[in-house]
Amino acid sequence: MSIYDKYEAVIGLEVHAQLSTKSKIFCGCSTQFGSAPNSNVCPVCLGMPGVLPVLNKQVVEFAIRLGLATHCSITPTSIFARKNYFYPDLPKGYQISQYEEPICQHGYADIEQEDGTVKRVGITRIHMEEDAGKSIHDMDVDTLVDVNRCGTPLLEIVSEPEMHSSKEAHKYLFSIWQTVKYLGICDGNMEEGSFRCDANVSVRLKGETKLGTKAELKNMNSFRNVERAIDYEIKRQIDLIEDGGAVVQETLLWNAEKNIATSMRSKEEAHDYRYFPEPDLVPVVVDKVWIASVEKILPELPNARKKRFVESYKLPVYDADVLTQERELADYFESSVNQLSKKNDESVKSVSNWVMTDVLRVMNDEKVTIVDFSVSPEHLGAMVNLIMDGTISGKIAKEVFDDMLKTKEHPKAIVERKGLVQISDTGAIETEIDAILAKFPNEIARFRGGDAKLMGFFVGETMKVMKGKGNPKVINEILRKKLG
Ligand code: ADP
Ligand code: ZN
Ligand code: MG
């Protein structure tokens, strides 16, 4: 048993989702990413004296959506608070956030574990807040400040300290990511920082119920970095304790290039935020009617959709998992399936295979989203129809698919233009097979002597002379009859 097995890691995540509203949370400025520095600003988000914030109703609606999707209770009257700290990218000197009475409380996310069992991770709270600006340090000149992001709406989702490995943390984070994207409230872009996560990590001896001292990891801008940083930190803490030391409460910055975490500030340097209720905003009142109206427009959520894919399309769990990762991909799959002239287990599974292998591969290679994918779901479905009715073989379909990628033509048009129609005519195939069998008497003898693998050889040879257009089913049947 290694020393690491004596310990249990405890992880709690604080996730920030930037909301995809057009305007900021307390003013009418645009939230557009990539605008010229310091162009999307006004007296309100710059914190000029005497101006008053006005809450963007859409932000509250988005918060309710996420709250309902994560089984939270929606607080009937929630309030904003000022979180005071000094930093160059925060012109007001305080951030408007929620402290006591956040809008959503006591929810959970269900994540599937390796062994198939479901683990429920508690969500302590979800609150609304405004983002700060950005300081740009990596310049030869002094630090630059861009305050465009000031006042961009965020939801902070705080989990219970209930995860015990980097894998679990990853799964939980993915579930939140998937949910905000399904809900259409956040674009989930971790690289651009519109979906961020801080990880709180502590360790304790197995069996111990008291929590250990935690360290907080920041600056991980991908799922992979979140996992790596957590693993690094768990090991660091255990090594430290085993060496007779003690974990101190601190904030660490993950360095993705060096694969290490470095201390940003210790507990002594921690901010005292002096939270107090925001005097410029009235409490947010959410009544039952509003909640019910939001509930009505909620889309089918990832876990439900996955379950439906398994049950109604008879797909393996693996397929359902891959296909429902993103809402748009699941939509693409279902639109393709709707094109099938004969919807059965075989044709549906074929669509699933095409989406999971060829479509995802090209999306990955060419860095395109499914929304911009050049083969429409109508054309993919039509292509699978051609396979199912025997017009083309699966092999020819690869050629048709590649052609569709480039030309965006209907698969039928491509098959006609290129003369790719599959030959299923028994007589024609038999003629070819007779010629091939005449060429390979030794192989026939070996096959009859028990070398069953040679079947593949004969099929391959036939396909070669037929330029891939022979119907493999018919070829197999005739060969089996002749060699049997
Ligand atoms: P803080 O006051 O330092 O922000 P909170 O109690 O608000 O701490 O918790 C912040 C996050 O840290 C939550 O996600 C929580 O689950 C997690 N957390 C709290 N204590 C621990 C601990 N000892 N180990 C790991 N995670 C923890
Ligand atoms: Zn503004
Ligand atoms: Mg906290």
Residue 160 Cβ contacting ligand 1 at under 6 Å: yes
CB 186 within 8 A of CB 194: yes
Cα separations in angstroms, 376 against 361, 372, 415: 16, 9, 17
pTM: 0.87
Match 């030309």 to its residue by tokens: 407
Spatial strand order in the sheet of 153-159: 73-74, 104-112, 118-130, 153-159, 7-18, 195-205, 215-218, 250-255, 260-266
Q: Could you tell me the two tokens for 324?
A: 């429902």
Choose which residue among 15, 214, 249 to substitute to test ligand 1 binding: the one with the highest number of ligand atoms within 8 A of its C-beta: 214
Going by the DSSP 8-state scheme, the letter that residue 17 receives in this structure is E
Indicate if the pLDDT at residue 269 is higher than 80: no
Indicate if the pLDDT at residue 139 is higher than 90: no
Residue 10 Cβ contacting ligand 1 at under 6 Å: yes
Q: How far is the CA of 14 from the centre of ligand 3 (A)?
A: 8
Range 79-97 average pLDDT = 95
Same-domain status, 395 and 449: no
Q: For the chain, give the percent of residues with pLDDT over 70.
A: 100
Phi, psi of 15 (to 5 degrees): -110, 135
Greatest pairwise CA separation for the chain in angstroms: 97
Report the pLDDT value the prediction gives residue 143, as an integer from 0 to 100: 83
Q: Are strands 284-285 and 77-78 parallel, antiparallel or unpaired?
A: antiparallel
Tell me how far apart the alpha carbons of residues 78 and 165 are, in angstroms, rounded to a whole number.
33
E strand map for 367-427: none
Tell me how far apart the alpha carbons of residues 77 and 287 are, in angstroms, rounded to a whole number.
9
**Residue nearest ligand 1's atom 11 by CA:** 12
Same-domain status, 354 and 381: yes
Residue 179 Cβ contacting ligand 1 at under 6 Å: no
Same-domain status, 350 and 261: no
Match 């091939």 to its residue by tokens: 436
Residue 14 Cβ contacting ligand 1 at under 6 Å: yes
Q: What is the dihedral of CA 186, 189, 194, 197, to 10 degrees?
A: 100
Same-domain status, 241 and 154: yes
CB 96 within 8 A of CB 276: no
Report the pLDDT value the prediction gives residue 220, as an integer from 0 to 100: 94
Range 390-402 average pLDDT = 92
Same-domain status, 92 and 228: yes
Range 30-44 average pLDDT = 94
CB 183 within 8 A of CB 299: yes
Indicate left, alpha or beta for 193 from its phi (over 0: left) and psi (-120 to 50: alpha).
left
Tell me how far apart the alpha carbons of residues 277 and 283 are, in angstroms, rounded to a whole number.
10
Tell me how far apart the alpha carbons of residues 236 and 310 are, in angstroms, rounded to a whole number.
42
Report the pLDDT value the prediction gives residue 426, as an integer from 0 to 100: 87
Same-domain status, 163 and 289: yes
CB 236 within 8 A of CB 202: no
Q: Could you tell me the two tokens for 195?
A: 């979906």
Report the pLDDT value the prediction gives residue 468, as an integer from 0 to 100: 81
What letter represents residue 352's amino acid? S
Indicate if the pLDDT at residue 267 is higher than 80: no
Most confident of 19-28, 414-423, 457-466: 19-28
CB neighbourhood size of 316 (10 A): 12
Q: Among 402, 418, 434, give the residue marking a domain's end.
A: 418
What letter represents residue 54's amino acid? V
Report the pLDDT value the prediction gives residue 364, as an integer from 0 to 100: 94
Same-domain status, 28 and 67: yes
Same-domain status, 44 and 157: yes
pLDDT category of residue 445 using cuts at 50, 70 and 90: very high
Residue 251 Cβ contacting ligand 1 at under 6 Å: no
Same-domain status, 129 and 207: yes
Q: Could you tell me the two tokens for 204?
A: 């304790």
Q: How far is the CA of 23 from the centre of ligand 2 (A)?
A: 8
Residue 197 Cβ contacting ligand 1 at under 6 Å: no
Residues 6+ apart with CB under 8 A from 420: 392, 396, 399, 400, 414, 469
Phi, psi of 80 (to 5 degrees): -95, 155
Question: For residue 28, which ligand has an atom nearest its CA?
Answer: 2
Range 370-380 average pLDDT = 96
Same-domain status, 462 and 357: no
Match 């090594």 to its residue by tokens: 239
Same-domain status, 253 and 355: no
Burial 226-245 (b: 16+ CB within 10 A, else e): bbbbbbbbbebbbeebeeee
Report the pLDDT value the prediction gives residue 181, as an integer from 0 to 100: 97
Residue 287's Cβ-side half-sphere holds a number of Cα atoms within 13 Å equal to 1
Indicate if the pLDDT at residue 422 is higher than 90: no
Q: For the chain, give the percent of residues with pLDDT over 90.
A: 85
CB 66 within 8 A of CB 18: no
Q: How far is the CA of 12 from the centre of ligand 1 (A)?
A: 6
Q: Which of 341, 434, 353, 433 is nearest to 390 (CA)?
A: 341
Range 163-186 average pLDDT = 97
Tell me how far apart the alpha carbons of residues 288 and 243 are, in angstroms, rounded to a whole number.
56
Residue 230 Cβ contacting ligand 1 at under 6 Å: no
CB 320 within 8 A of CB 310: yes
Range 313-333 average pLDDT = 96
Residue 434's domain is classified under what CATH number?
Answer: 1.10.10.410
Q: How far is the CA of 92 from the centre of ligand 2 (A)?
A: 12
pLDDT category of residue 132 using cuts at 50, 70 and 90: very high
The C-alpha angle 385, 389, 393, rounded to 5 degrees, equals 85
Residues 6+ apart with CB under 8 A from 142: none
Same-domain status, 346 and 467: no
Q: Among 400, 418, 436, give the residue marking a domain's end.
A: 418
Tell me how far apart the alpha carbons of residues 133 and 205 are, in angstroms, rounded to a whole number.
41
Atom of ligand 1 nearest to the CA of 160: 16
Identify the domain containing residue 362 by its residue range.
302-418
pLDDT in tens, 234-257: 999 999 999 999 999 999 999 999
Indicate if the pLDDT at residue 69 is higher than 90: yes
Q: Among 293, 311, 327, give the residue marking a domain's end.
A: 293
> What's the mean per-residue pLDDT of the chain?
94
Looking at the 3D structure of the chain, how many domains does it have?
3
Q: Which of 377, 397, 298 is nearest to 334 (CA)?
A: 377
Range 214-240 average pLDDT = 96
Report the pLDDT value the prediction gives residue 419, as an integer from 0 to 100: 86
Report the pLDDT value the prediction gives residue 423, as an integer from 0 to 100: 85
